[in-house]
Structure formats: C-alpha cells, structure tokens
C-alpha cells in the first residue's frame, strides 16, 4: 500500500443495510462493484490529484449523490455530469449507474455552444456538478461538492431490469458540424466486462490502474470500471501542467501495474525511453489509433515484465472489441501493428462497397457485429448510414480499411473517409471545414492531419487565395469546437491542386504544405 495512504473504515451496513442488494439479471458489472464495496471497504479506490480515497470514502459520496438524484430528479433518465478530475465526478457516474440512469459527460473546457448542442440532443435537464455555478442554458445544476459525508447514507441498486437502459451517451465529432451521440446500454457494457474477463488477464485488488483519459472518451470507462469491479485502485492523471510528463510521473511513482494508453503517449515519451524502467507494469495496452511496430518494440524494453497488447474498437462497439497480444513475431502492415481478433461475443468481417464479405487477404471496410454494439446513434439518419443487416445480423461500418490474414488476425490499413485521430481524439476533418466555411462564408478551406517533427499528428488548415490574417477566424472557431480540434498550423496557397475529377487533391495539397 502506498505510504501516504491512510485507511478510513466504515461499517458497510451503512451502505446496504443488513440486506445486501442482489441483482438477479446479468448485470455483472454493477453486482461486482457492489460486492467490492462490501469486501474492500478499506482499500484505496482512487488516487486523484495525489490524494487517496477508500472504497468507503467513495461509497459515502455515491450514497449522498444518489439521494440527491432521488430528491431532485427522480423521473429524469439522462443526467449530465460536468466532468472534473475529482472524486465527486466518479461518484456521480456510479450513483447514476446504480440509479438505473444514464450519464452524459460535459467537458467544462469545451465551448458552451457545443455543450448546449449535446445537452439539447440528449434532452438533459439536470447537470451534476461539483459547484453550483452554471454556465449552460436551460439546465438545473445539482451541486455534488457540498456532499455531506453522512455515515447513515445508503446505496441502492435500481430494482428494474437495466439491460436495455443506456449506461452512458458519448458524443463524437460529426462531419456536419453537430456532435454525434452514441448511447451504450448496460447490456453493451456488461458484455464488454465479460469479454474483458474472458481475456484471462490476472488482475486483482492489488493492481494499480492508470486512468489517463478524458471522461468524454470511452477508453476512460475501461480505466475506471475494470478496477472498480475488482477492488483495485484507479490512479488518475493530474490535469494541470504537461499531460505526458504527468502520465510518466504517475506510471513511475505509483508503480502502475495496468495501463491502457493511446500510442501518442509513446511518441511523446520516446526521447526518454533510455531512462524509463517500469518493472512493475504487468499489462501495457494500446488503443485508439495506429500503433507503430518500431516504437512499440523500443517501449517493450521499458516494461520488461508486461504483457503488451494492441486493442481496437470504436465508441460504437463499447471501448474495445479486438485484441492482439504482442509475441515474438509482430504482425504489421506498413509498420502498423495488427489489431488482432474479436473478443468474446463479437465478430468482425471485411466487406466491399456492396457489403459483400471479402475473403481473407482482401482489403475492404471493417464491419463489426455482436453484443457490444450500440443500438444506434441518437440521430436515426446517422444510424441508417452506418449500420446494415445481413443474414439476420446487424453490422456497424467502422470506416476503417482492413483485411484478415490467414491466422485470423485483422490488419488495420487506414481510413475510408477523412476521420483522423489526434492524440487519440476522434476528429472528422470535415467538421473543422464545416465551421471554417460557415465563419468565412467561403468554401476555400481544407483541413488536413499532418505529421509534426516529433512524430505526432497535428491539424493543419489550408486557405486558398493567398496570405491573410486568420486570428479572428481561429478565435471564432474556438467557440465552436473543443480545444483538440483547433488547428496547430495555418497555410495559404494561391490555388488548390485538383485531381482528374476536378476535386481538391488532398494528397497533393498535403505535399505542397509539407
């Protein structure tokens, strides 16, 4: 146990009374968490901003927030949470789950206009927030910060079947300028937890999990939920200062044993690999964007005792659903590590433009099927575009180009469209273009993802028609999109290069600005 951890114990009948709630359905993840509250009350659940909280501490805050929900908005299904790196935020998530409701994370650093679109689409009337301050129109704030640590509080589990209830709704970049809502049901989440268990990782309450993700990104859900299901401790990454330095500090000083990270972390840490030695790391997973073999091999020397895996999945298929365990021979394509094979109760196929399944070795669009698949977007039109039915199965079109090799492993080869990943964040370049066109009243602008000198991808925008001052334009853009979508570079060209069909040749443009 870390030296600065002071256990705080509380009798568990305060939470559950003498009768413990038992859920009779398949809701394993909630039952698991409830059982952990009982069995690991004095163990550390979270280390946030260098402060430890036990499962008892967490349980008291959950109980109090749950009673606030009951008091203020018993009939509301969708509740927003103004996310911060604090205990109240995680306790709000658990209180919402246990109440059979749905959480929608609202990032305080995102423009109010964007948050308002999310609030409106999800029909949110109440926001859980640490403070009473409210920056958003048409919502009532329930302050969670003044939560009294009342030892008589009790946690209760919703009595109705939760399978089809949405556990959370996350919003991803939408090409038409409006964020796309992806609901994930309790059944989806439960299927993920079961499939994760089936991977056979030997994790338990002694493990220390890294949680490096914004709660608006679904990899965060694995990073807090899996440890809470086993009584392990979640170590969040302080959000002040340099993110990547903070990640490394947490990995080293907290002797993290399980870390799910985006590959961009490696690009940032690469200059320091020689000095990095993390013998306590037992599982080092990567997800969210292409993982390159050369940097991975160097990283493996930093984590000599770890099982290393490349895992893959879109938000629409709950966190991740394919895994590739790194062994002696690493399968890759153009240096990109294979994304492996589907997890339990998930399936993947590669199809051509007519949705005909392609044989092994042929490249096409990767489509997913199975228990982790969202029932569909909040916007039915988007659902019709991205899902199709075949032989009684419902498939999600990922937009990823892939093929399956003879060993049954899938190989990621790139994107069909203009979706990119910048430090793990999913961005539709056309969304940036949409806003810039609306701001400038002109269509002469293209957004591209370009490689920066340190190997990290960055957003560049290119304006046609020669140099001009774009300060005001970028200032307005900041009020429309999250900070990670703001271009790092602005270029000007006299005229866009055109391809044979007369459209802007994005590849040629990329070369022009390189």
User: Interface residues with ligand AMP (CB under 6 A)?
Assistant: 172, 287-291, 310, 312, 314-315, 339, 398, 400, 412, 421, 426
Smallest gap from residue 56 Cβ to ligand AMP (A): 34
Cα–Cα distance measured from residue 395 to residue 365, given in angstroms and rounded to the nearest whole number: 11
Written in H, E and C, the secondary structure of 199-242 is: CCCCCCCCCEEEECCCCCCCHHHHHHHHHHHHCCEEEECCCCCC
DSSP 389-451: EETTEEEEEEEEEEEE-TTS-EEEEEESSSEEEETTEEEEHHHHHHHHHHHHT-S-EEEEEEE
Q: Are 8 and 56 in contact (CB under 8 A)?
A: yes
**Helix (H/G/I), strand (E/B), else coil: 327:** coil
Smallest gap from residue 255 Cβ to ligand AMP (A): 26
Q: Are 60 and 88 in contact (CB under 8 A)?
A: no
Smallest gap from residue 115 Cβ to ligand AMP (A): 19
What tokens were used for 448? 């591209």
Cα–Cα distance measured from residue 413 to residue 333, given in angstroms and rounded to the nearest whole number: 7
- Between 190 and 400, CB nearer to ligand AMP: 400
Bridging pattern class, strands 78-82 and 126-129: parallel
Q: Are 427 and 168 in contact (CB under 8 A)?
A: no
Smallest gap from residue 193 Cβ to ligand AMP (A): 17
The alpha carbon of 28 is separated from its chain's Cα centroid by a whole number of angstroms, namely 21
Cα–Cα distance measured from residue 30 to residue 15, given in angstroms and rounded to the nearest whole number: 15
- Between 144 and 371, CB nearer to ligand AMP: 371
- Between 67 and 323, CB nearer to ligand AMP: 323
Smallest gap from residue 23 Cβ to ligand AMP (A): 29
Place of tokens 């009473």: 132
* 429 phi, psi to nearest 5 deg: -60, -30
Smallest gap from residue 131 Cβ to ligand AMP (A): 29
- Between 153 and 314, CB nearer to ligand AMP: 314
Smallest gap from residue 173 Cβ to ligand AMP (A): 9
- Between 276 and 416, CB nearer to ligand AMP: 416
Q: Which residues contact 408 (CB under 8 A, 6 or more apart)?
A: 341
Residue 505: Cβ-neighbour burial (10 angstroms; 0-12, 13-18, 19+): middle
Smallest gap from residue 284 Cβ to ligand AMP (A): 13
Nearest-10 crossing angle of helices 471-478, 429-440: 120
Instruction: Give me Rg for the CA atoms of the chain.
Output: 23
- Between 16 and 312, CB nearer to ligand AMP: 312
Smallest gap from residue 170 Cβ to ligand AMP (A): 8
- Between 201 and 484, CB nearer to ligand AMP: 484
- Between 15 and 320, CB nearer to ligand AMP: 320
The DSSP element (H or E) to which 341 belongs, if any, is: strand 341-342
**Helix (H/G/I), strand (E/B), else coil: 339:** coil
Cα–Cα distance measured from residue 353 to residue 365, given in angstroms and rounded to the nearest whole number: 8
- DSSP code, position 506: H
- Between 155 and 262, CB nearer to ligand AMP: 262
- Between 172 and 203, CB nearer to ligand AMP: 172
What tokens were used for 491? 């270029």
Smallest gap from residue 321 Cβ to ligand AMP (A): 10
Smallest gap from residue 319 Cβ to ligand AMP (A): 8
- Between 426 and 480, CB nearer to ligand AMP: 426
- Between 310 and 470, CB nearer to ligand AMP: 310
Written in H, E and C, the secondary structure of 288-299 is: CCCCEHHHHHHH
Cα–Cα distance measured from residue 248 to residue 212, given in angstroms and rounded to the nearest whole number: 10
Residue 125: Cβ-neighbour burial (10 angstroms; 0-12, 13-18, 19+): middle
Smallest gap from residue 261 Cβ to ligand AMP (A): 11
């Amino acid at each position: 146990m870390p030296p600065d951890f002071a256990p705080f114990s509380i009798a568990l009948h305060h939470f559950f009374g003498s009768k413990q709630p038992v859920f009779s359905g398949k809701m394993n993840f909630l039952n698991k968490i409830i059982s952990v509250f009982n069995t690991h009350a004095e163990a550390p659940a979270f280390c946030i901003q260098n402060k430890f909280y036990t499962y008892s501490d967490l349980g008291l805050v959950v109980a109090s927030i749950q009673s606030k929900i009951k008091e203020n908005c018993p009939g509301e299904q969708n509740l927003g949470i103004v996310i911060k790196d604090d205990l109240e935020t995680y306790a709000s998530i658990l209180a919402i789950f246990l109440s059979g409701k749905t959480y929608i994370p609202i990032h305080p650093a995102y423009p109010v206009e964007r948050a308002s679109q999310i609030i409106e689409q999800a029909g949110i009337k109440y926001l859980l927030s640490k403070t009473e301050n409210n920056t958003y129109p048409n919502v009532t704030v329930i302050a969670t910060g003044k939560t009294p640590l009342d030892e008589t509080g009790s946690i209760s589990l919703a009595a109705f079947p939760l399978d089809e209830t949405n556990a959370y709704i996350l919003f991803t970049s939408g090409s038409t300028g409006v964020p796309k809502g992806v609901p994930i049901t309790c059944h989806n989440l439960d299927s993920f937890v079961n499939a994760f268990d089936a991977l056979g990782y030997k994790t338990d309450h002694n493990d220390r999990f890294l949680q490096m993700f914004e709660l608006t990104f679904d990899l965060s859900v694995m990073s807090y939920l899996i440890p809470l299901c086993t009584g392990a401790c979640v170590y969040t990454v302080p959000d002040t200062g340099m993110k990547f330095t903070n990640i490394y500090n947490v990995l080293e000083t907290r002797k993290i044993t399980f870390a799910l990270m985006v590959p961009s972390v490696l690009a940032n840490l690469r200059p320091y690999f020689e000095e990095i030695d993390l013998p306590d790391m037992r599982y080092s997973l990567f997800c969210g964007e292409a993982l390159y073999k050369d940097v991975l091999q160097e990283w493996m020397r930093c984590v000599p005792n770890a099982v290393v895996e490349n895992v893959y999945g879109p938000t629409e298929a709950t966190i991740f659903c394919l895994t590739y365990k790194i062994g002696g021979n690493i399968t890759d394509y153009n240096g990109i590590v294979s994304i492996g094979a589907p997890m339990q109760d998930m399936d993947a196929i590669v199809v051509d433009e007519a949705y005909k399944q392609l044989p092994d070795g042929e490249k096409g669009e990767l489509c997913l099927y199975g228990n982790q698949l969202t029932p569909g977007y909040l916007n039915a039109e988007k659902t019709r575009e991205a899902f199709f039915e075949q032989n009684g199965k419902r498939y999600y079109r990922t937009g990823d180009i892939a093929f399956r090799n003879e060993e049954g492993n899938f190989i990621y080869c790139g994107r069909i469209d203009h979706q990119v990943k910048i430090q793990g964040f999913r961005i539709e370049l056309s969304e940036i273009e949409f806003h810039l066109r609306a701001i400038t009243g002109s269509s002469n602008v293209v957004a591209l993802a370009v490689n920066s000198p340190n190997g990290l991808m960055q957003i560049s925008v290119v304006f046609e028609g020669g140099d001009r001052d774009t300060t005001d334009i970028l200032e307005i853009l900041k009020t429309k999109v999250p900070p990670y979508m703001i271009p790092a570079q602005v270029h000007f060209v006299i005229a866009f290069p055109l391809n044979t069909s007369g459209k802007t040749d994005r590849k040629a443009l990329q070369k022009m600005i390189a």
